[in-house]
Structure 1
Amino acid sequence: MSFLQPFIEFDFMRRALLSCLCLSLSATPLGVILSLRRLSLAGDALSHAVLPGAAIGYLFFGMSTLAMGVGGLVAGLLVALVSGIISRTTLLKEDASFSGLYMGALALGITLISLKGSGMDLLNILFGSLLAVSHSALLTTSLICLASLLMLRVIYRPLIIDTFDSDFLRVGHRPLAIATHGLFLFLVVLNLVAGFQILGTLMSVGLMMVPAVSARFWAVRLVPTMIIASIIALLSSFIGLLLSWYSALPAGPAVVLCSAVFFLVSCLMGRANGWLARHSFRHSGASS
């Protein structure tokens, strides 16, 4: 088929699609759990929190994927740790403590990059370069995807119990609850670091959260919601890359824009909680 020609002919298009596939499989299910735990803002905050560490790696090693990735991982985990301490020692909840930290982290990261880098370097770090994904970056993303899925499988049961009935786990097994939450946030940061290398710090959370909240309009059970979210993320990536190729749009924003369109369609037509489904249910209830 002619519209598949870019993926057939060009290696960089295949690498871009495969990297998005990895993120769709590992990051999007984490986004579903974040939304269920009412920590959607945490994903956005942690994506910004990655930036200062990536900027420090950039200052010392230039545009080194490894240095910026390690720096971003350390910075993201540090912000998650500080946020946890604030939420447990003050009256603020965790999402509020994240909101108090992430804009400062974003501003610090941009300031550090501006000390050495050009405007183009800043744009690449903020918005990514999806069509310039290297073989090493794809390999790193693939390994992160595999490790995330394996670790999520290990902590899945206590994580879901803590998500739907946090008091049950924290009263009887408090150390397990703390360890599970810590590992979950580690997975979130790890996937945001992988996404940062592909979509940039501002766009990486888009493929994690937007398909996740879209899927909740199509399913009410957890596993089907995760599967639908991954499918929406993959379709957004595929369509976004084709739009980028044929319309000369920036690839990363095109992918996230497609996921936003899926979100609006889901709000309207989702069979579980979409506007049309709720409206028809109310109409049929009133008629009966």
Structure 2
Amino acid sequence: MFEWLVSPFVEYGFMQRALLGSLVLSVSCAPVGVFLMLRRMSLTGDAMSHAILPGAAIGFVLFGLEIMPMTIGGLVVGLLVALGSGFVSRFTVQKEDASMAAFYLISLAVGVLLVSWRGSSVDLMHVLFGSVLALNDEALVLILGIAVVTFLALGIFWRALVAECLDPLFLRSVSRIGGPTHLLFLVLVVLNLVGGFQALGTLLSVGLMMLPAVTSRFWSNDVRALCGIAIAIAVVSSLGGLLLSYHASMPSGPAIIMVAGVAYLFSALFGRRGVLASALPSRRHTSA
């Protein structure tokens, strides 16, 4: 058991860095995913993860696979896409989900073309799917920095974020911080997607953010509890995915997301608010 569970992280430095990066991402991304879920913006997170691709691709074209240029590019373009889709939905007849879909599809196409133009198929796969086993010290520092910023923001603006999440119209009617709070939240989403991009690529970075969050909904209805459960699921998924990747020779990023997906299916069936729990009262009523 020791050899199967612990030995890979003791013997190999790349596994240690992968574990540290994945755990920090789990702690940082999962609470942001909970707020996205409560806002009914789960698919927006997926769109935003693709939206950072052109910025990362520009950094790649100019500087190669360097972390900071790709990170800054992804952050800038991700925020521009979020603000641009919001601007279109505010001043036209189009809803925000439709404008976000349009922006993300354009961004994804432009990003893939840019990477394909200057790089190989290997570079494209790295950008799209990441490589958590290839995290270096610079990437870990970036991920840690994003986690610190996220927790400081959540700690300081928790009440405002919860209020803006559950009843944004009420918050804007009684306070002027509704707009800035929404902008802060978008920044946190893009930051964590950029951090996840370093390990999981643009296509899978949203997985560690959203799957634990939506899974936690089957176990609780309290915001703080949802965040704690989502973090626990993300941590277990990261650890299980890395072990599965090591022992079964699977790609590490997809393995992590697959374990999170199994946790979702299990919770959907057996969770306190899952399918079986919902069916029990009707069975008792029928037997009575």
TM-score range, shorter chain: over 0.9
Match of 1:91, SS?
Answer: coil
State how 1:154-193 maps to structure 2 within 5 Å: 154-173=156-175, 175-193=176-194
Q: Deviations over 1:187-219 (max 9, x none)?
A: 000000000011000010000001100010011
1:281 corresponds to which residue?
281
What's the CA shift for 1:8?
1.1
- Give the number of equivalent residue pairs: 286
1:229 corresponds to which residue?
230
Residue identity matched to 2:218: F
- Whole-Å separation in 1 of the counterparts to 2:182 and 2:95: 14
Q: Deviations over 1:5-60 (max 9, x none)?
A: 00111111111111111111111111011011011111111100100000000111
What's the CA shift for 1:155?
1.8
Residue identity matched to 1:123: M
Tell me whether 1:147 sits opposite 2:170 in the alignment. Answer: no
1:60 corresponds to which residue?
62
State how 1:26-65 maps to structure 2 within 5 Å: 26-65=28-67
If the length of structure 1 is used for normalisation, what is the TM-score? 0.97
Query: Is the Cα contact below 8 Å between 1:41 and 1:98 reproduced in 2?
Result: no
What's the CA shift for 1:281?
2.1
- Whole-Å separation in 1 of the counterparts to 2:234 and 2:284: 33
Give 4+ residue runs of structure 1 displaced > 3 Å after superposition.
285-288
Q: Mind listing any 5+ residue stretches in structure 1 that lack a counterpart?
A: none
2:81 corresponds to which residue?
79
1:102 corresponds to which residue?
104
Q: Deviations over 1:216-256 (max 9, x none)?
A: 00111111111111111111110110010000000001001
What's the CA shift for 1:286?
3.2
If the length of structure 2 is used for normalisation, what is the TM-score? 0.97
Query: Is the Cα contact below 8 Å between 1:41 and 1:99 reproduced in 2?
Result: no
Residue identity matched to 1:286: T
Query: Is the Cα contact below 8 Å between 1:12 and 1:131 reproduced in 2?
Result: yes
Residue identity matched to 2:127: I
Tell me whether 1:262 sits opposite 2:260 in the alignment. Answer: no
What's the CA shift for 1:87?
2.0
What's the CA shift for 1:166?
1.7
- Whole-Å separation in 2 of the counterparts to 1:192 and 1:237: 16
- Whole-Å separation in 2 of the counterparts to 1:24 and 1:74: 23
Match of 1:249, SS?
Answer: coil
Give the CA RMSD over aligned residues: 1.0
Match of 1:92, SS?
Answer: coil
- Whole-Å separation in 1 of the counterparts to 2:21 and 2:285: 46
- Whole-Å separation in 2 of the counterparts to 1:91 and 1:236: 41
Residue identity matched to 1:280: L
- Whole-Å separation in 2 of the counterparts to 1:211 and 1:201: 18
What's the CA shift for 1:89?
1.3
1:22 corresponds to which residue?
24
Identical positions, percent: 49
Query: Is the Cα contact below 8 Å between 1:236 and 1:258 reproduced in 2?
Result: yes
Q: Tell me: CA distance 1:285–1:223, structure 2 relative to 1, closer, same or farther (3 Å).
A: farther
